[in-house]
Chains A and B, each alone.
Chain A
Amino acid sequence: MIFDFAICAHVQSAPSATQDVAMSVEARERRQPWVLLAPALGAVTLLLLVPLLFIVVYSFWLRSAVGPDTAGFHLDNWQRALTDPFYRYILLNTLKIAAITTFFCALLGYPAAYFITRSSGNKLILLLLLMLPFWISYIIRTMSWINILGSSGALNTALMSMGVISSPIQMLYNEATVILGLVHFLLPFMVLNIYVSLDGIDTNLEDAATSLGATRWQAFTQVTLPLSLPGLAAGGLLCFVLGAGTYITPLILGGPRDAMFANLVFEAIITQLNWPMGSALSLLLLIVLGALVALYNRYLGMSQLTKGLG
């Protein structure tokens, strides 16, 4: 098949024809990448960029009690989103929960990532253990804690059978269990990012430090730890942004008073059907988290982040 084609091309190569072909090939070469990019770029533009601009406009509309929302330029939604003390409390509390979650992810994730990088054991199994949590469903991992901490869960059953308590203790549905669920969900992102960054560090550096008289601990804190900070930062950013944007975990593991900011968005859009208000609230969340990403991008660049994702 390919051969036939080659012969044809040779037979036809009269001088003028060659020039024509060369021209059109060049033109096609230049057009081709855009033809290939068009579907994906078109999809992102139509399904993300334009919709984002649309909700910017929508956030200035007003909800009508009956009929369609009133178009126009009203600042009411934004005024409420920015000044309502309840919204502000939830926003700050969301950031607090995300920060605590990120801290615990780093605390648990760093030593584990370090062990995987430096272990001389079976690397394949360790890496599999690293990737496996990503494949286990988020909702399953979140609800699995009900089996552990619920009133007829493993912990209560064990404590009762040992006679420590006589009736089940209520351990679920508070802020602590929301953080627990988030740490459990986000820890793999942290471990993976730190692993990617630690794996790129030459181990000779640490050996050089010890041979020059540093203790192992000094070699770690003064050589390896600083070099792995970009990975820690990338993991931290991912944990924080993903944690601050969740509403499922508080719904499953939190009590009625443990709503996070994304729960407000969900309430406004799905329950109250107040779409203009929902637009303003989701944009506020986007602005707050986007500012963090921009700050990160300014000082550390985006490449570290895509490294961990890819």
Chain B
Amino acid sequence: MGGGGKMGWAAIRAYTILVYLFMFLPVAVVVLLSFNQNQFGSFPMTGFSLRWFEALWNNDAVMRAFRTSLILGLLTALISTTLGVLASLALVRYAIPGKNLITTILIAPILVPEVVLAVALLLFLNWLGIGKSFALLLAGHVIFTLPFVILVVQARLVSIRRDVEEAALSLGASPIQTFFSVTLPLLMPAVAAGALFAFTISFDDITGTLFWKPGGVETVPTQIFSMLRNSISPEINALGTVMIIITVGLPLLGAAIARQISIKRGM
């Protein structure tokens, strides 16, 4: 490698740093401004304050949106992960005819643009008598997150050796016993990752949610969206910071805990 190579590498490194600044700087500004004491919440920073978080806490609409998003996200994660784990087991563990077609069908919700999925689901369920409601929101979030869960769980399931399950079966365990005492514990990291993925995607969704939500019901993203329409208030930055803590902080914490556990088990 000559001096030219080194120079080139330094240039690539500088370029990459700039790309990452572009990616993270605007978000960092959101977090920074949410602690701003200035009453307009804009530049210049005049001091550190938690007043905007306090305002959030006392804002009924925001707290309601939080509750809606949490319940919706948890239910979505529960249903989507259950459906996804069962389907992944079938796809990885059994020789079934037409496996490729089935996989494509199960992945279809992310191949179709979300707007189209949103319209189709809204119009069809409405025709069946289920109008804009929490049930419609839940159905939409489940169908949209399912492919992600399947992709994550499948990738993990492939790496669990069939022998372990066969050993349990040959020792006389029933398939159901084998699933709960052998397969599921080994699969747990993938189940957790799938559930977390489903929760985060649901918690973050706005494209479909705006089509499906009944009037008066807001999730956190749609609440932010409607607050933006008035003007950018410092409360929005604070809400953004809380959302970043939930969608970034929780997974990181989860990963750290999982790592601690696996170190303790000596895996």
CB atoms of A40 and B106 under 8 A apart: yes
Which secondary structure dominates where chain B touches chain A? Answer: helix
The interface residues of chain B lying within 8 Å CB-to-CB of A51 are 120-121, 123-125
Is A37 interfacial (CB-CB < 8 Å)? yes
Option from A54, A138, A153, A310 in Cβ contact (under 8 Å) with B43: A153
A47 to B136, CA, bound (A): 10
A119 to B173, CA, bound (A): 49
Contact with A along B199-241 (1 / 0, CB 8 A): 0100010110011000000000100110010001000110010
A246 to B113, CA, bound (A): 9
CB atoms of B27 and A136 under 8 A apart: yes
CB atoms of A140 and B42 under 8 A apart: no
The interface residues of chain B lying within 8 Å CB-to-CB of A302 are 104
CB atoms of A44 and B152 under 8 A apart: no
**B residues 123-153 in Cβ contact with A at 8 Å:** 123-125, 127, 139-140, 142-143, 146, 148, 150-152
Contact with A along B146-167 (1 / 0, CB 8 A): 1010111011000000000000
Is A50 interfacial (CB-CB < 8 Å)? yes
Is B187 interfacial (CB-CB < 8 Å)? no
Q: Give the interface centre of A129, A135, A215 by most chain B CB atoms within 10 Å.
A: A135
CB atoms of A143 and B228 under 8 A apart: yes
Is A239 interfacial (CB-CB < 8 Å)? no
Given A216-B1, A278-B119, A112–B89 Cβ distance below 8 Å? no
Option from A140, A152, A266 in Cβ contact (under 8 Å) with B27: A140
Q: Which 10 A-B pairs have the closest CB atoms?
A: A6-B172, A245-B113, A51-B124, A144-B26, A51-B120, A40-B87, A36-B90, A33-B94, A33-B90, A157-B43
20 contacts between A and B (CB under 8 A): A10-B172, A36-B86, A36-B89, A37-B86, A41-B105, A43-B142, A52-B112, A114-B12, A135-B248, A136-B244, A140-B27, A140-B224, A140-B243, A141-B26, A143-B236, A265-B116, A270-B210, A282-B120, A286-B116, A302-B104
